[in-house]
Structure 1
Amino acid sequence: MDRALRILWVEDSAADAELFASLLEDEGVAHAYERVEDEAGLREALAVSQPDLVISDSDLPGFSGEHALRIVRERAPHLPFVFLSGAMGEDAAVLALQQGATDYVLKQNPRRLASAVLRAVREAEAIADRERAHRELMHAQRNEALALLVAGLSHDLRNVLQPLSLLPTLLRAKEDRATALRVADIVEEAARRGHDLAQAMVDYARGRHQEAGHADLAEVLASVRILLGGSVPRSIGVSFPVVAPGMMLAIDATALQQCLLNLCLNGLQAMDGQPSGELTVRADVQHDLAGDVVRIEVCDTGCGIPADVLPHLFTPFFTTKTQGTGLGLLSCRRIIESAGGRLDIDSVPGAGTTMRLVLPLAPANTPVSTPA
């Protein structure tokens, strides 16, 4: 390690903690440690700062290592936790690992402690690096989609404002009540459209991936359709399915919105320059080996994907677009797979492409997440 580790030691014996800390120093593991010996001390230490590692005895007076492990996992799911015990049987050790411990070391074999500590910290850092890369990937993909949406959204905004700009002239020319009522209806509709457009854009721009979220498919599809509106050329027909509210999917709503929007924009780009085309979104419930799932398809009648390009679609930074990042499809696949689903692609050069998402239905009576 190129820095001193911060270790939280759950141990009732100050002499044991000092002894094994010295052994770590002898093995070249530079560190500083804080010792606690009960639940109150453990909770207080975790509330003040998060260490790089927790080392715990399995048997403490009035407190157990198993209980300490549960407390640590509640506060920090990926924080390395190593048992250092003088009397931990094989069955107890296996159970500890199943419950989330990173490793266990017997006090009779103290030389293994240093390697266990270093391995646990490196694995935790690797997990943190992967999560950080995933957040950066999501951010880059969202920015790419936002850039594509700007022109279309400005077009939609002009469509909202244009009838409002004509109304003063109309009111000055006619003063009858029927005209005033009609004008009021137009103003109300324009205001609603403007509000929906602005809210959808804000929701998308501020969206955060939430692991435990659940999405109402009808709400997500409605939001995607609003965001997509101004980006669709007049020559392209667009159809979305009619989905009853309450069809809940086991995925965060913002993440699904981001994924579907990216796939729809890809489909529109595939039809760029064609005299006509169709973008079709379909959704239906199916039953497979994993249980009840929803299949969502985004189909275009564009140029299709060449056979030599298909194997590289999920390669980071591989792109055939002049302004693309090569991150969109990779991000979509990670979103779907992290929710327990899958993303498949069928494409015929010259005939079009179908992007197929298969996602599990959420259990009944689960709360919905909304883009926030």
Structure 2
Amino acid sequence: MDTPALASHRFAPAQCPRLVVKIGSSLLVAEDGSVRRDWLAGLIAEIAGRHEAGQKIVIVASGAVALGAKLLGFERSSRNSLDYAQAAAAAGQIALSQSWVELLGKRGLTAAQMLLTLGDLEDRRRYLNASATLDRLLQLGAVPVINENDSVATEGIRFGDNDRLAARIGQAGAVGGVILLSDVDGLYTANPNDDPEAEFVDTVATIDERIVRMAGGASTMGTGGMVSKIEAAKIATSAGIPLAIVSGHCDRPLTTFAEGGKGTVFVAEGTVTAREAWLAGRLTAAGTILVDAGAAQALRQGNSLLPAGATGLRGAFDRGDVIDIEDENGAVIARGLSEYDTDSAARIIGKKSGELEDILGYAPRSSLVHRDHMVLL
């Protein structure tokens, strides 16, 4: 495993030509609803320095709702109402954009805004379009500033936090690393506010149940917290992208981290294809196929999912839809593209290959999910 110093070097310009930096709401917007311009100017100075060193930076930044609420005179309690929050986001986003344009411009950099919804990255065609736009902006030397389009996103069809959005943008932008600047300095074995014996975790090689249990607590202004950061780390590392959680409560947080400052690094080893990364990082699936222990083991060995190993299904899906594959313990172990729609799949689960043609009335496809269209989780 990397030492903490070596792990932080993974995000340096020489090792990481493209970097996503996510900025939490509580860092960007003060409690009174104003932009923390002095802090932001310091961060942009760091970004400019990295840009000169050859590193392309993508910014994922929230705070529009908090800023817009002040501009429109909303009470804090109004933010819990979806229509008020959307109105606040519409007003706040313009103000935030002005700050980015002005402060980046002073450093000779061009800001380019991208507002995305969950569907833009879950739908394969729209994902590829967003990816192409992001790639071209970076090639042109612009600094993309990305946020969820809170003014139109609704509950149930939104990211809900910018941690996971940052990780998905990392996939779409083919970046070498993701840094989450937060109001916490990393992962602890327990909540340090509640447990004085909680130990800091500087490097995570594998995100297992033990790591997941360590997560807890939420930011005072954002909608994330450590749970969403762990989920973001899963998305990033599944695509071979290391992710770091770093405190933003200092004037030059990127430099502080690079020079040995505190931060938790989730290490990613190996590589996957762009299509596999997109599948693994999805936050939604049309349905679920349940499998027995034998099928689960076969999948881990690189085999396709055959009907004989399936024990049940949930949801409604068509052929080509993304579905999850769940083992006997209720864990999602793989994700892929279904070879059948719900009705046909329901008729053949648990059946042997030789029985399928008689059941369906036509020459069947051999698998429910083919290994070439599947990724293990």
Q: What is the TM-score normalised by the length of structure 1?
A: 0.24
Structure with the higher helix share, 1 or 2: 1
Which structure has the larger Rg over C-alpha atoms?
A: 1
Higher relative contact order (CA 8 A, sep 6+): 2
TM-score by length of 2: 0.24
